[in-house]
Amino acid sequence: MLRTAVVGTGYLGRFHAQKYRDLNNSELIAIADPNPERGLEVAEEVGAYAVTDHRELIGKVDAVSVASPTLTHYAVAKDLLEAGIHVLVEKPMTSTVEQAQTLIDLANASNVLLQVGHLERFNPALLAVEKEINAPLFIESTRIAPYNKRGSDVNVVLDLMIHDIDIISHLVKSEVKDFRASAIKVISSDGADIANVRLEFENGCVATLIASRVSNKAERQMRIFQHESYVSVDFQANSARVCRVDKTQQSDDGMPVIDCNDFTHDGGDAIKAEIAAFLHSIETQTPPLVTGEDGLNAIRTAAQIEAEWQLVTAK
């Protein structure tokens, strides 16, 4: 039994607490939140006790999810890693590259596990078709959603697009060579709400990414084009399609035959899978699916985009 806890009781933090409570190899000890009423509410729901300071967890737990607001990730995770506690920190890992590197160094020095909560890596639709993606040539991703105050403490790249930056980097397995980016402020006073980015990788792959948090609908899709194959993933519907050119057949009009297979997964629980993988990595002393280095890479790309984009304020 690993003694576990959750810092932050917002939308995701509550879910994290529920999963830790339900997993057989977890003993959920405590919930930490500076808001005592909210912390106590969630703690009572999951059968744990509540504290208002994450440092009160030190010496009492083995593993912690940090699901507090993004701007607090670094300070909270730093305290826990220095105390020898395994940490699953929600995305984005930190708000700066330097902070992310410090957390990686601390985890290594303390010999503890650091996993980053890029939840879409555990989406059952992506996992079902990932083996079909081996040499992407062109990728396009769209991630749009209605405005939500949750996550608005950072710009839309760190809030939404970072999911796709991480996935694409994971699939392409090549360094970014060049990029073009533009962004628009619509509602937020400081950060962009809509961004359009084109990434060019060293191996020749090109990816275009669109993210918006001022849409009237939600959509999370990615399309991957390869030589003689095409893969599409709908992260929202937990569905995917793989199409391949069948060289053994030819249609009557001489056109190539394309075979498509659809994958649909009902009731997938990516958060539970993410936390189960975190605990399994601790128990087996194996690297997590999403490492601190993965989180750092996504933040580095996001920071480069933010530094170079042409930011426009809607009028």
Domain spans, the chain: 2-112, 121-268+300-313
Query: What pLDDT shows up at residue 247?
Result: 76
Has residue 240 got a pLDDT over 80? yes
- Nearest C-alpha neighbor of 161 from the set 198, 188, 195, 131: 195
Has residue 312 got a pLDDT over 60? no
Query: What pLDDT shows up at residue 114?
Result: 98
**Phi first, then psi: what are they for 154, rounded to 5°?**
-130, 165
Query: What pLDDT shows up at residue 151?
Result: 61
- Of 40-54, 97-111, 149-163, least confident by mean pLDDT is 149-163
Query: What mean pLDDT comes out for the span 139-163?
Result: 88
314 pLDDT tier (thresholds 50, 70, 90): very low
250 pLDDT tier (thresholds 50, 70, 90): confident
Topology of the domain comprising 121-268+300-313: Dihydrodipicolinate Reductase; domain 2 (3.30.360)
- Give the mean pLDDT of the chain: 93
**pTM of the predicted model over 0.75:** yes
Has residue 313 got a pLDDT over 90? no
Query: What mean pLDDT comes out for the span 168-176?
Result: 95
d(CA 28, CA 46): 8
122 pLDDT tier (thresholds 50, 70, 90): very high
Q: Which CATH number fits domain 2-112: 3.40.50.720, 3.90.1200.10, 3.40.640.10, 3.40.718.10?
A: 3.40.50.720
Has residue 210 got a pLDDT over 80? yes
More confident residue, 33 or 263: 33
Whether the domain at 2-112 and the domain at 121-268+300-313 fall into the same CATH topology = no
Query: What pLDDT shows up at residue 185?
Result: 86
Burial of 116 (0-12, 13-18, 19+ CB in 10 A): buried
